A = this chain, B = another copy of it.
Amino acid sequence: MRQTIMIIEDDPHIVSLLAYVFEDEGYSVLSSATAEEGWDLICTQQVDLVILDINLPGIDGLQLCNRIKEHMVLPVIMLSSRDKDDDVISGLELGADDYIKKPFNHREVLLRAGNLLKRAPERDETLLVTTGDLMIDLTKERVSRSGTVLELTPIEFSILRTLAESLDRIVSWQVICSEVWGSRDWEGGHELVKVNIRRLRKKIELDPSEPVYIMNAWGRGYRLLKLEYADSL
């Protein structure tokens, strides 16, 4: 899903420059010359980030920023030619996430925007764990690999959740046992985990005999590896 940048700025040159830069990087761009129109667009369209000039005719950028922050969770970058510290400060105090002074370098804008967007999705979807091509949605209890949904049984999912909650850290079979089955007579616990790990691997690993996600740490337990994602979804 492409992310959308909303540019609110009355200087058409700046708008077209920014639009060009962001579209070139694969973003969708919306723009508006006034705060009023911008607000309407923000409310009706799917917007992921707002770039907002301080100097606007009518309602100014600071007021709009304030309004945005009161009503929604949405990153805002303020833009200003005024070089006074006061503006930076009032902008940030009103909740702006970043502040860039004109004239700006377009690479800097891109990077700062990217920075904010990187962080944004983790905020509301805190319960999504990803590693490599694997996506584990702990809220919806759904697991997918490269987009295709994997059907896990309750116990399989429960084990995967336990591992995902300690992503990249080793989880002993004792911990898995207590997380998945609650208190349980420990006899056979080790075996149980072994067998179910195998069943889980059969479903989530491309080649279960050469596991990539669930790795064994000899004598210590299992670890769901944190992998950087390949560029496929």
Contacts and interface: CB of A to CB of B under 8 A. Distances in A.
Interface of A: 85, 88-89, 92-93, 97-98, 105, 107-108, 111-112, 115, 119-120, 123, 139-141, 151, 153-154, 157, 168-170, 217-220
A93 B118 CA distance: 13
A92 B112 contact: yes
Given A115-B92, A123-B119, A217 B105 contact: no
B105 A88 contact: yes
25 contacts: A85-B105, A85-B107, A85-B108, A88-B105, A89-B105, A89-B108, A92-B111, A92-B112, A92-B115, A93-B111, A97-B115, A98-B98, A119-B119, A119-B120, A119-B123, A139-B169, A140-B168, A140-B169, A140-B170, A141-B217, A151-B218, A153-B218, A153-B219, A154-B219, A154-B220
A107 B90 CA distance: 10
A219 B156 CA distance: 11
Contacts of A157: 220
Nearest to A123: B119
Contacts of A169: 139-141
A202 to B, nearest CB: 16
A198 to B, nearest CB: 19
A92 B142 CA distance: 35
Contacts of A217: 141
Contacts of A105: 85, 88-89
B108 A218 contact: no
A86 to B, nearest CB: 9
A89 B111 contact: yes
Nearest to A93: B111
Nearest to A105: B85
A141 B170 contact: yes
Given A140-B169, A220-B154, A107 B89 contact: yes
Contacts of A119: 119-120, 123
Contacts of A111: 89, 92-93
A111 to B, nearest CB: 4
